[in-house]
Structures are given as C-alpha cells and as structure tokens.
Amino acid sequence: MLRMFILLTCLVAGNSLILSQNMELPAIFTDNMVLQQRSEVPIWGKATPFEKIKIKVSWNDTVYETTADDAGKWKLYVNTPPAGGPHQVDISSKWSNIALKNVLIGEVWMCSGQSNMEMPVAGWGKVDHFEQEVNQADYPQIRLFQTPQTASSQPLDQLQKLGKGWEICSPSTIGEFSALAYFFGRDLHQHLQVPIGLIHSSWGGTPVEAWTSAEALAETSDFRTISTAPDGQSRHPAVLYNAMIHPFIPYAIRGVIWNQGEANSDRPEQYKTLFPLLILDWRKQWGRDFPFYYTQLANYNASSNEYWPELREAQLEGLKLKDTGMAVTIDIGNPNDVHPKNKQMVASRLALWARAHTYHENLTASGPVFESCTIEQHQIRLRFKYAEQWLQAYGETPLTGFTVAGPDRKFYAATAVIEGNEILVSAPEVKYPLAVRYAWENAPVCNLYNSAGLPASPFRTDSWK
C-alpha cells in the first residue's frame, strides 16, 4: 500500500512538472525586453487548453486575465505607461509562473533587410571607427534582440532557433549586432531620452519577396503560385517572412527601418510593385499603419549590373505610401564596396525621418526630391519638394550630375544653375530639351543639396527605356 502511495505521489509530481513547463512564450518575451510606451501591448503564448492566465505588471495594480482556447493559445493586451523602468511582468497559470525582469518601457523598432542592415558593428563589416564605437557602447537603456537566420516554407508562431533573447547594449554585446540598427537606436535614445528596443531581423543577399507573405505575393502575377516545399533557401519567396517576421507579429512596435534592394537590382520594374507590397503587407499583418523608413541604394560601381538607377527610382516611388521616408545615400557609399562603412551617417538620416515625422521634432528630414518641370525655350526648369529655403551645390562648386536630352534621346552633360529653390538645366548640344536626369549612374558624381545639408535623390523626368 505504501509503495502504491509513493508511486501515485511520483506520478502526480511528474505530471505537475510537465504541466508547469507547459507555459510557452514567444522568444521575444524575455528579461531585458522593451515594451512600447503608452500603448495596449499584446502579450501572448501557449498553455494547457482552457487554462486561466493572469498577468500582473509592476507599473499598475491591474490584473489582466484570460482563458486559453482549446489549442492552448491565449493573448492579453496590457496598458503601458510613459517611458521608464525597470519593471517586472509576471505571467501565471495554475501550474506555473514566469517572471520577466528588468523590463523597460520605451520605443520599439523593427530593423530588417539584407546585408547592409545585417553588417555588424565590429564583425565581418567593421564600420568606421568600430573599435571606438564598441568601447563607447555603454547604453543600458538600449536593448537588442538578434534574430537567428532561418527560413521556413510555412508561417511560424515561434522562432526556429532561439538566440539569447533581449540583451542590454554594452561593449560586450554590441560587436555582432547590426550597426545600422544600433546607430539608429542610439540617435533616437540620445535625442528622445527614452529607452529604445531594437529587433534586428535581416539576411544578406536576400530579395524583397523573401520577406513578404505568401498571402500578399499571391496578389501579384509573378508570384501567384509559390511552392511550399521547404528548401532552406533564403532567397525563396515568403520564407524569411515566415521564419523571421511572422513569429514577432503582433508584438507592439513603433515602426520599421529597412535597408534592402541590391538583391532586386536586376528587376527594378518588378520592385515598383514588390516594395510597396511588402510595406502594405507588414502593416496589414500587424494591424496598424506604422511608419516605414528605408534607405535608397548608395553609390556603387556595379559593373555587371546597369540597373541601379532604375532600382533607386523604384525606391523613390515608395514615398507615395503614407508614413514612409527615404534616406538618400548617394553621397556616402563606396564605389568599390557594396558594403560602405559609414553606417553612422546612414542611421542619422533614417533617424531624421523618425524624429521629424514620428516624434514631431521641428527639423528637415529629406533632401530635395524632384517634383515637376517646365520647358522654357532651350532650357528646363526643375522644381523640388524639400527644397527648404534654398538649394545648394555642396562645397560651393558648380552643380554636377545633370544631363539633358532632346528628341533624339541622347543625353549630354548639362549646365545647371540654381535660382532660389529651382534649377535651370541646359546643354549647348540640345536645342530642344525634353528630359533631364540627375545622378543617373551606378556611382555618379553629384552634389545637389538643400539648405539643411541633405542630398537630393537621383531622378529623371522621362520614362524612356
């Protein structure tokens, strides 16, 4: 009888242990995480079917409660205060309790794309002044989440590979983290004086369609039918969305920064559809129209690919979507290196968009963007958005980078003269000008800026092939 009692006791204890381990949270919920301030943030997970779940937080007295469904899935929305911390989040059920400690409330940004987003501070890329940057990366209110690189043929609720969770930004953690994401977050932290959470999810050499859901791609003629056979290939349509974006939805984020395009540079016309599709897709999946700020391709001598100007044009068209912004980098790339090391300046220009349009600082976020033109006898007058008070040639030298063409569609180097916030373009070889192009090369020499010191985007007034 005693042996039977002991056996039953062990079985009950064993079952209790199994049940206590049954509470499962997505990988994004760990110690040191950042929750979006002044929001209803979703917290979700998996437990025993029909189990009651409670969440208590240290910043208010509310007890949030729900019941898991028949598959064990549950979700609760928790109200967050203004930026601050550290706080604690306790998630409990009948069988278990999970305490998430050292939680900050602040601003959360998703950072994604291909290799120029992936490039680490001191890893294979080694950005400018990387040793100094690592040594000075003591920002305990900046938190870093590094997403392991995996692909999946189906949308995942959990990351396939679990990394280290949220880490505190320090010299010991920043070296392998995305330089662009870190410098962007540091800029915001220094100007806003609030905690910053950075979710980094990128993979070098990957096209935009790999980061887009199969549901959205099915609306296009080129990707209407997508194979669902797993192949582990990072370039396959939807596979990175499935494995490296979907597991984070619907974690509360303020917005997205994006650096990608090189892998689609041989298909610029298609990119005009795919890039805005990705933005709209992510917003739909998250259920809100968050800001989406991205970089335009930098100057690079891609000798085997002559379509970089057209790809930049496709990126420029992304500004047609609301709450988007584009950091022009035509002046800070490296003609001989597709991975330029000045990620600090790229991040600063992305942060200008966030500071001006998300956080409403009174500053200029963009350089000149072509708006309209008129033909005036033997010259063409150009007008720009974001011309601000005046236009200028960088370094007080003559404007460079302009070409003009007539009915024969042959472009000639042009003389460009600034008149306030307009430009007059002409060339002696072109008596009847019809079109102007600016910085229309892979690695152009160009120097048009506005009074805020920001460079103009490459553009053309024609649509000739």
Residue 93 is which amino acid?
S
pLDDT in tens, 328-376: 999 999 999 999 999 999 999 999 999 999 999 999 999 999 999 999 9
Tokens of 112: 């994604």
Q: What rounded mean pLDDT belongs to the chain?
A: 93
Are the beta carbons of 365 and 455 closer than 8 angstroms? no
Which pLDDT band holds residue 302 (cuts at 50, 70, 90)?
confident
- Write the DSSP assignment of 358-427 as a string of letters: IS--SS-----EEEEEEEETTEEEEEEET-TT-EEEGGG----SEEEE-TT--EEE-EEEEETTEEEEE-
Q: Do domains 20-104 and 105-358 have the same CATH topology?
A: no
User: Which of helix, strand or coil describes residue 259?
Assistant: strand
pLDDT in tens, 364-384: 999 999 999 999 999 999 999
CATH 3.40.50.1110 fits 105-358, yes or no: yes
Q: What is the pLDDT of residue 232?
A: 58
Range in 247-256, 278-287, 304-313 the model is least confident about? 304-313
| Mean predicted confidence (pLDDT) in 27-36 | 98
CA–CA dist 27, 455 (Å, integer)? 40
52, 121, 276, 429 from 177: Cα distances, Å:
38, 6, 27, 52
| Mean predicted confidence (pLDDT) in 385-390 | 88
* Domain-wise residue ranges, the chain: 20-104, 105-358, 369-460
* Placement of tokens 């209110």 in the chain: 141
Which pLDDT band holds residue 228 (cuts at 50, 70, 90)?
low
Residue 11 is which amino acid?
L
Q: What is the pLDDT of residue 13?
A: 37
Range in 19-23, 39-43, 415-419 the model is least confident about? 19-23
pLDDT in tens, 275-289: 999 999 999 999 999
The class level of CATH for 20-104 reads mainly beta
Prediction pTM value? 0.94
Which pLDDT band holds residue 99 (cuts at 50, 70, 90)?
very high
Q: Helices 268-286 and 308-316, interaxial angle, to 10°? A: 30
* Placement of tokens 């000149």 in the chain: 368
Which pLDDT band holds residue 9 (cuts at 50, 70, 90)?
very low
Q: What is the CB neighbour count within 10 angstroms for residue 22?
A: 17
Q: What is the pLDDT of residue 6?
A: 41
pLDDT in tens, 420-464: 899 999 999 999 999 999 999 999 999 999 999 999 999 999 999
CA–CA dist 220, 225 (Å, integer)? 9
Which pLDDT band holds residue 389 (cuts at 50, 70, 90)?
confident
